[in-house]
Every structure is written in C-alpha cells, then in structure tokens.
C-alpha cells in the first residue's frame, strides 16, 4: 500500500504544483488522470524520490519515502515520460548495463534477468538491435523491462502510451496488466481510455489538487441520468456555454456536439447519454475550474 498524505510542493518561482494531495494506492493498477500541467509529473517524481516535496508524507509498505529514499529505490521501478537511452547500444547490452546500475552484480544473475525480461516484454527477437531502430512502442516495452529489474514492488509509469499507435498501445497496456497482480502500479496519464481499460481505482488531479477519486465504475454510475447531448451549429457554442453546464464539445460533420451535465433535460433537442469515464473526467475538470484558487 502506498499512502500519500497532505503532500505539497512549491517550486522556487512560487508555483504550487501540489496542493494538499492525499491518496491511498492499493496493490494493482491505479490510474492518475489529469491534463498537462495538472501536477502529475511532480507527484510521480516526488514518489520516485527524484525531488523532495515541500511538506507532507509518503509511505510505502512501512518505508518513509521522504526520510529514507534509498530504501524505496531498492523496490522501485520507474518509467518517466521522457525515457532516454543510448541510441547505438543494443537492447540486450543496455539492459545488462542498467542491471549493473541496479545492483545485479553477478554476471550469471544478470544474464538470467536480462534474458527473462526481454522475453517477458517480447523484445527477445530484436535483442541485438540498436535502440535507435526501435519503434515508439518497442522503446516503451524496453522502458518497462528496465523498470522491472530487481522485482520492484512499486512501479510508476508516466504518460506511457502518448504517441503510440493503437496496436502498440494495446500491446503495452496488456503487458502492464500482466504484471499488476502483486505490485502497485501507478499509471499517470491524460488518456482516459488507458485508465478505463486497466484500472480498478483512479483519481483525477487538476490544479495540483485531487479533485475526485474512486472506482471508475462507481464514478460512472454517479453520472447516470445526468449527461445530455445535443448537436448545434458552431456559431451557437458560446451561447450554449453561457446557458448550460457544458462539460465537453467535439466537431462532427461540420457541427458541434456538446455534452451537458444536468439533473433534468436541459431543453429542447437534448437526448440522454450513457455517461462514460470521459464524461466523469471532463465534468470533474469543468467543476475544478469553477472553484476559486
């Protein structure tokens, strides 16, 4: 169990990236949803001991992460948003090098570890290929392989499917699901579908605050009968925003489709929508923007 209590982080320029964040993250996949600039990467870096928060506490299975970061690092796997590698090095040699850095000293143990991980992430056939020739999805799978060195109990992945094509995205998400049974995996992303597909628990972070958290299915049920859809002319969007609680918009065939949050039919031409996690997410962001800072 990862326990985060009253976490605050203020950067040197005065920006408050985290504002009293508290979370309980159990074993399995946990989704952290939020737009760019919400504070997700700051929270992930704080958990990963890459920066010290201004105040608050982080505890993982009895480890005081802030006071004893080295102890946490022994059981941590981390795939940051920008994962850099030496492009001319092969996948095998790079993973072997990273195993040395993670303390796998024995050559025999490293060989077993590297070969097992490359098989697990389905990169064994290209183990001798330079990383520069890897696709985006292959690089992300390599990133998970390095994060799994040492059998970590806590794994953090930050925006792991951004830029991946649908096939690579599915392959990567399936890999995460396979390893989630006995470890805590935090999936930090702005892609709603990733959380909907994988995570039995989630939270929405916006403006440095946890705006909502719970089980996705429970949060979706809370929206039943409250989401309405209407197709309008693009020119009518401003009027609609002034009149209704518009939570999302999208263009379709030259028209604008709006989703509106209301406990009753907002007006003529609206039809009910079976709300999904995307509606939960957009409604939460809309509500957070209305709260004074």
For residue range 195-218, list pLDDT tens digits in order: 988 899 999 999 999 999 999 999
- Yes or no: say if 72 and 49 are a contact pair by the CB < 8 Å rule: yes
Q: What pLDDT is recorded for position 36?
A: 87
Alpha-carbon distance 27 to 186, whole Å? 10
In CATH, what number is assigned to the domain containing residue 215?
3.40.50.300
Q: Is residue 49 part of a domain?
A: yes
Residues 190, 245, single domain; the answer is: no
Domain of residue 234, residue span: 225-273
The predicted pLDDT at position 197 comes to 84
What's the pLDDT at 159? 84
Q: Is the pLDDT of residue 291 over 80?
A: no
pLDDT at 57: 98
Distances (CA, A) of 117 to 12, 48, 71, 103, 234: 40, 22, 23, 16, 51
Enter the pTM of the model.
Answer: 0.87
**In the structure, what pLDDT confidence band is assigned to residue 67 with cuts at 50, 70 and 90?**
very high
The pair of structure tokens assigned to 200 is: 């039995």
Give the Cα separation of 2 and 26 in Å (integer).
6
Place of tokens 């809370």: 222
* pLDDT over 90 at 101, yes or no: no
Q: Average pLDDT in the 121-126 region?
A: 93
Highest mean pLDDT among 54-58, 71-75, 76-80: 54-58
Residue percentage of the chain with pLDDT more than 70: 98
C-alpha to C-alpha distances, 281 to 106, 156, 248, 274, nearest whole angstrom: 47, 21, 10, 14
Q: Domain check: are 165 and 247 in the same one?
A: no
Is pLDDT at 292 greater than 60 in this prediction?
A: no
List the single range of 1-15, 49-63, 71-85 with lowest mean pLDDT.
71-85
In a domain, 15, yes or no: yes
Does 261 map to a domain? yes
**pLDDT at residue number 185:** 95
Note the pLDDT tens digit of each residue in 155-184. Answer: 999 888 877 888 888 888 888 888 888 899
Q: Are residues 216 and 243 in the same domain?
A: no
Tokens at 25, concatenated: 């993250």
Average pLDDT over residues 265-276: 93
Q: Does the residue 41 lie in any domain?
A: yes
Provide mean pLDDT across the span 96-118. 90
If one counts the domains in the chain, the total is: 2
166 or 49: which leads in pLDDT: 49
| Residue 234 in this model has a pLDDT that exceeds 60 | yes
Cβ proximity of 114 and 95 under 8 Å: yes
pLDDT reading at 293 higher than 60:
no
Q: Is the pLDDT of residue 264 over 60?
A: yes
Q: Same domain, yes or no, for 152 and 258?
A: no
Residues 120 and 251 in one domain: no
| Domain annotation covers residue 288 | no
Both 269 and 187 in one domain: the answer is no
| 8 A C-beta contact, residue 244 and residue 282 | no
- Average pLDDT score over the chain: 92
The secondary structure element, H or E, covering residue 119 is helix 107-120
Please report which confidence band the pLDDT of residue 86 belongs to, taking 50, 70 and 90 as the band edges: confident
Please check whether residues 80 and 60 belong to one and the same domain. Answer: yes
Q: Look at residues 44, 60, 150 and name the one whose alpha carbon lies nearest to residue 98.
A: 150
Same domain for 148 and 264, yes or no, is no
Q: Give pLDDT, residue 89.
A: 93
Q: Using alpha carbons only, what angle is made at residue 57 by residues 52 and 63, rounded to the nearest 5 degrees?
A: 95
Residues 82, 197, single domain; the answer is: yes
Q: What per-residue confidence (pLDDT) applies to 81?
A: 76
Average pLDDT over residues 108-120: 93
């Amino acid at each position: 169990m990862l326990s985060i209590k009253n976490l605050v982080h203020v950067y040197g320029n005065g920006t408050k990236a985290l504002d009293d964040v508290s979370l309980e993250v159990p074993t399995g996949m946990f989704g952290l949803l939020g737009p760019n600039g919400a504070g997700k990467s700051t929270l992930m870096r704080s958990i990963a001991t890459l920066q010290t928060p201004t105040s608050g506490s982080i505890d993982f299975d009895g480890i005081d992460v802030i006071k004893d970061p080295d102890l946490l690092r022994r059981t941590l796997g981390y795939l940051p948003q920008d994962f850099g590698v030496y492009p001319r090095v092969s996948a095998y040699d790079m993973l072997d090098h990273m195993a040395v850095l993670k303390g796998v000293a024995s050559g025999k143990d490293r060989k077993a570890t590297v070969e097992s991980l490359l098989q697990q992430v389905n990169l064994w056939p290209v183990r001798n290929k330079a990383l520069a020739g890897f696709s985006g999805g292959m690089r992300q799978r390599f990133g998970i392989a390095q994060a799994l060195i040492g059998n970590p109990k806590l794994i953090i992945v930050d925006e792991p499917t951004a830029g991946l094509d649908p096939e690579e995205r599915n392959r990567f998400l399936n890999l995460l699901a396979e390893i989630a049974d006995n470890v805590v995996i935090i999936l930090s992303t702005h892609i709603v579908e990733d959380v909907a597909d994988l995570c039995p628990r989630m939270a929405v972070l916006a403006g440095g605050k946890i705006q909502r958290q719970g089980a996705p299915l429970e949060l979706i049920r809370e929206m039943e009968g409250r989401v309405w859809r209407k197709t309008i002319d693009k020119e009518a969007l401003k009027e609609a925003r002034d009149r209704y609680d518009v939570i999302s918009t999208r263009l379709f065939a030259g028209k604008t489709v709006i989703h509106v949050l209301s406990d009753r039919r907002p007006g003529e031409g609206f039809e009910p929508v079976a709300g999904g996690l995307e509606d939960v997410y957009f409604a939460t962001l809309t509500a957070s923007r209305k709260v004074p800072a």
